[in-house]
């Protein structure tokens, strides 16, 4: 059969498309990677000492190496790691490191300053978290667990799989218990090289604890039904007992639906798999964050309760210093002794309980989940909101960003979960406390802003004549979904939205004339302080943005749209080359002063469009874009975009 004839014009079109794709790929590669805006807390999750260098896996800061309390090397987002959330760490005998991140397992060679992923070939484009990593002290042998993020089985347990890597191949590691197996704790014994793993097997509505031990090629597994505490839902930690004949398990129980009923119970497991309470009879309400053998002692760390020696008698505090009271991880090194990680630092604990810092004193820091909200003075000031930590304001100088002001949840602000925030005049900030209400922050203090009873504020926007608040309705029939307007002078007004399907789903955007646009599930709703709301678009909208200098308005949600002057019009563009993984759906956008569009997608990738709304590049973690990115903020003064994330800190990106 003859090939169909291809016209010269078609050939030129195809050649042009290939040229555009190659230019876009080259442009993405030429962009400088996103850089961190200040440091997040260290939040050490695991530690290892290799060649005299202390390595810390940081939940939000990547993998960091220290020598003599000075940072000397780092593998981070866009610099060798697919995610800045490093949660597991193990050292191989040859000095290489295996790092478990929220984006998968990574092999790091500090001597070569190189890294490479370790992954089963069959996972394709899936993004799997490596949440358990064990490396044998003999040869190259690694057992690890991959968990599908945000994917759960019928009983609410994450979908997990165990794997073995021998230095060349990745193969499934079968504990021979059937399906539904999730490992929640593990240990690689330094003395004999054996692997110890424990966790939960989900079988219908039942959750059964299990334990496995592999020494060389011999694997033994046990279901721990007999002797296990009632209501066991997991195993928090494993350690070898000082006698070397038994294994200590910290088993997590929950007696009621309320997580506050959880206990961490210390149990002893003999070599034949018989489980019994540890001789200490210890049971803790605090979360156990570490369990290690240090000489003849077992050392246990608990969140907020310090570090103690665990024996058959009462617990013995190893330090009364408050700097190590909230340990996030423990490790024991043959030369350095007991190491204690906290949110702020890693400490070497002396025999008298005095902690010696092995990491530098923290400088200005921002919470890992801080999201950029608004700017002042063309971006010299930026307002951030952290759901867990409260509000803070950054100021920019020639030396970089600094924390100018901070309002801490539970200290300077009422305890709660914080959402949107906005600057208001004169020198005020309006903040949303999710599911609770609205706060007005002034230099002299904080006060609640009264709204209709039952109103649940979601977003806030400042207009020339007052404050607009988007509020959602509650399932139990509290306040209605709608827009509240609090004028600078006069009485407050409430404008109900057309129907329940018009629940606010996105942000508010205030116009200079006092109007406001609200993104909802059924499109954009426009309102002013005098008239009834009207619907001006028909598709779900999550974010709205207006570039004031060019008067360009865009929206994202179900689609990408721009304001044509009379209606919203779809923005159509082809993404070439194909992204390395699925984009998800658009969740935020900004438009810079050159008219270029920055569109954030739910999978943590940023799509760049030029002023004609043509695709230029797609940026992901290789360009330093956090996979957990949630919000963008354009700063006209410096022409940079701040990228806030849920778990990896804040980054800044500039488009030359």
β-bridge pairing 70-77 and 80-81: parallel
**pLDDT level of residue 452 (50, 70, 90 thresholds):** confident
Q: What angle do CA 291, 65, 400 make, to 5 degrees?
A: 120
Alpha-carbon distance of 49 to 52, in angstroms, equals 6
Question: Is residue 506 scored above 90 in pLDDT?
Answer: no
What pLDDT does residue 27 have? 57
Question: Is residue 8 scored above 90 in pLDDT?
Answer: no
Residues 60 and 45 in one domain: yes
What pLDDT does residue 237 have? 97
In a domain, 464, yes or no: no
Closest of 208, 216, 197, 332 to residue 269, by C-alpha: 197
β-bridge pairing 288-294 and 482-487: unpaired
Alpha-carbon distance of 208 to 420, in angstroms, equals 42
What pLDDT does residue 29 have? 58
Strand order in the sheet with 456-463: 456-463, 466-472, 482-487, 493-496
What pLDDT does residue 20 have? 41
Residues 160 and 39 in one domain: yes
Alpha-carbon distance of 430 to 407, in angstroms, equals 12
Mean pLDDT of the chain: 90
User: Which of 362, 387, 416 lies at the terminal end of a domain, its last residue?
Assistant: 362
User: Which of 344, 362, 380 lies at the terminal end of a domain, its last residue?
Assistant: 362
In a domain, 335, yes or no: yes
Q: How many Å separate Cα 212 from the centre of its chain?
A: 30
Residue 512's φ and ψ, nearest 5 degrees, are -60, -25
Residues 276 and 297 in one domain: no
Residues 155 and 206 in one domain: no
Q: What angle do CA 332, 335, 337 make, to 5 degrees?
A: 35
Question: Is residue 13 scored above 60 in pLDDT?
Answer: no
Alpha-carbon distance of 425 to 6, in angstroms, equals 64
In a domain, 517, yes or no: no
Closest of 362, 361, 272, 346 to residue 307, by C-alpha: 346
Long-range contacts of 275-281 (CB under 8 A, 24+ apart): 275/224, 275/226, 275/227, 275/228, 275/249, 276/227, 278/248, 278/310, 279/311, 279/312, 280/310, 280/311, 280/312, 280/313, 280/315
Q: pTM for the complete prediction?
A: 0.90
Residues 271 and 297 in one domain: no
In a domain, 238, yes or no: yes
Alpha helices (H) along 330-424: none
Q: What's the average model confidence in pLDDT over 159-185?
A: 93
What pLDDT does residue 14 have? 33
Least confident residue range of 143-152, 176-185, 436-445: 143-152
What residues pair up with 218 in beta bridges, in sequence order?
Answer: 215
CB 246 within 8 Å of CB 270: yes
User: Which of 173, 197, 232 lies at the terminal end of a domain, its last residue?
Assistant: 173
Q: What's the average model confidence in pLDDT over 138-145?
A: 93
SS3 readout for 494-554: EEECCCHHHCEEEEEEECCCCCEEEEECCEEEEECCCCCCEECCCCCEEEEEEECCCCEEE
For residue 60, what are the domain limits?
34-173
What residues pair up with 475 in beta bridges, in sequence order?
Answer: none
Cβ-count burial 277-307 (b if 16+ within 10 Å, e if not):
ebebebebeeebbbbbbbeebbbbbbbebbb
Q: If you average pLDDT over each of 85-99, 138-152, 283-297, 433-447, which comes out highest?
A: 85-99
Alpha-carbon distance of 426 to 442, in angstroms, equals 9
CB 83 within 8 Å of CB 101: yes
**pLDDT level of residue 121 (50, 70, 90 thresholds):** confident
In a domain, 267, yes or no: yes
Alpha helices (H) along 31-108: none
- Number of other residues whose CB lies within 10 A of the CB of residue 460: 26
**pLDDT level of residue 501 (50, 70, 90 thresholds):** low
In a domain, 465, yes or no: no
Residues 281 and 294 in one domain: no
Question: Is residue 533 scored above 80 in pLDDT?
Answer: yes
C-alpha distance from residue 526 to each of 157, 458, 498 (Å): 42, 17, 11
β-bridge pairing 523-527 and 534-535: antiparallel
Closest of 89, 105, 98 to residue 46, by C-alpha: 89
In a domain, 194, yes or no: yes
Residues 297 and 275 in one domain: no
Q: What angle do CA 597, 603, 607 make, to 5 degrees?
A: 20
Give the H or E element holding residue 26: helix 8-30
Residues 44 and 169 in one domain: yes
Residues 166 and 218 in one domain: no
CB 642 within 8 Å of CB 633: yes
Alpha-carbon distance of 496 to 470, in angstroms, equals 10
Residues 163 and 218 in one domain: no
Dump pLDDT digits (tens) for 563-621.
Answer: 999 899 999 999 998 998 899 999 999 999 999 999 999 999 999 999 999 999 999 99
Question: Is residue 239 scored above 90 in pLDDT?
Answer: yes
Closest of 257, 260, 152, 132 to residue 196, by C-alpha: 132
Q: What's the average model confidence in pLDDT over 95-110?
A: 97
Residues 625 and 550 in one domain: yes
Residues 341 and 247 in one domain: no
Q: Total structural domains in the chain?
A: 4
**pLDDT level of residue 31 (50, 70, 90 thresholds):** confident
Higher local confidence (pLDDT), 242 or 267? 267
What pLDDT does residue 125 have? 65
């Amino acid at each position: 059969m003859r090939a169909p004839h291809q016209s010269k014009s078609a050939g030129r079109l195809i050649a042009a498309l290939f040229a555009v794709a190659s230019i876009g790929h080259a442009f993405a590669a030429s962009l400088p990677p996103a850089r961190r805006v200040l440091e997040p807390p260290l939040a050490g999750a695991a530690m290892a000492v290799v060649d005299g260098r202390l390595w810390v896996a940081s939940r939000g800061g990547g993998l960091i190496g220290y020598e003599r309390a000075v940072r000397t090397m780092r593998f981070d987002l866009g610099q060798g790691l697919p995610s800045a959330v490093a949660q597991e760490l193990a050292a191989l005998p040859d000095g290489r490191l295996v790092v478990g991140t929220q984006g998968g397992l990574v092999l790091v060679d500090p001597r070569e300053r190189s890294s490479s992923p370790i992954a089963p070939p069959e996972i394709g484009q899936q993004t799997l978290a490596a949440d358990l990593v064990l490396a044998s002290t003999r040869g190259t042998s690694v057992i690890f667990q991959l968990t599908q993020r945000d994917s759960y089985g019928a009983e609410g347990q994450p979908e997990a799989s165990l794997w073995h890597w021998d230095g060349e191949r990745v193969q499934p590691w079968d504990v021979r218990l059937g399906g539904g197996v999730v490992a929640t704790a593990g240990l690689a014994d330094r003395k004999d090289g054996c692997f110890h793993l424990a966790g939960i097997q989900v079988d219908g509505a039942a959750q059964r604890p299990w334990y496995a031990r592999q020494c060389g090629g011999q694997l033994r597994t046990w279901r721990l039904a007999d002797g296990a505490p009632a209501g066991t839902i997991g195993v928090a930690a494993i350690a070898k007992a000082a006698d070397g004949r038994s294994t200590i398990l910290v088993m997590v129980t929950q007696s009621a639906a309320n997580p506050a009923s959880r206990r961490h119970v210390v149990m002893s497991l003999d070599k034949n798999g018989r489980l019994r309470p540890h001789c200490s009879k210890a049971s803790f309400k605090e979360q156990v964050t570490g369990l290690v053998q240090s000489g003849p002692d077992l050392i246990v760390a608990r969140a907020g309760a310090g570090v103690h020696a665990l024996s058959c008698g009462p617990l013995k505090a190893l330090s009364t210093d408050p700097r190590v009271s909230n340990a996030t991880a423990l490790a024991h090194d043959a030369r350095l002794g007991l190491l204690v990680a906290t949110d702020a630092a890693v400490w070497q604990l002396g025999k008298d309980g005095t902690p010696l810092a092995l990491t530098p004193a923290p400088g200005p820091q921002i919470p890992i989940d801080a999201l950029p909200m608004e700017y002042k003075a063309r971006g010299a000031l930026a307002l951030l909101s952290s759901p867990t930590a409260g509000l803070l304001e950054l100021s920019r100088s020639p030396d970089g960003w600094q924390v100018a002001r901070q309002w801490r949840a539970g200290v300077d602000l009422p305890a709660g979960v914080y959402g949107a925030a906005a600057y208001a005049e004169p020198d005020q900030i309006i903040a949303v406390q999710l599911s609770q209400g609205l706060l007005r922050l002034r230099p002299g203090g904080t006060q609640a802003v009264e709204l209709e009873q039952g109103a649940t504020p979601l977003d806030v926007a400042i207009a020339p004549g007052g404050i607009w608040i988007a509020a959602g309705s509650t399932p139990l029939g509290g306040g209605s979904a709608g827009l509240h307007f609090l004028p600078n002078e006069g009485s407050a007004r409430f404008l109900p939205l057309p129907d329940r399907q018009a629940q606010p789903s996105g942000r508010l955007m205030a116009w200079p004339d006092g109007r406001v646009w609200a993104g909802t599930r059924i499109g954009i709703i426009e309102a002013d302080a005098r008239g009834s709301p009207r619907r001006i678009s028909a598709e779900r909208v999550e974010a709205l943005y207006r570039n004031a200098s060019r008067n360009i308005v865009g929206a994202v949600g179900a689609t990408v749209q721009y304001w044509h002057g009379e209606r919203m019009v779809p923005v159509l563009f082809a993404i070439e080359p194909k992204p390395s993984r699925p984009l998800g759906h658009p969740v935020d956008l900004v438009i810079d002063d050159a008219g270029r569009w920055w569109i954030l997608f739910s999978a943590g990738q940023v799509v760049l469009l030029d002023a004609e709304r043509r695709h230029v590049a797609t940026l992901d973690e290789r360009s330093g874009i956090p996979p957990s990115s949630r919000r963008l903020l354009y700063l006209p003064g410096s022409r940079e975009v701040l990228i806030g994330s849920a778990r990896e800190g804040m980054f800044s990106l500039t488009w030359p």
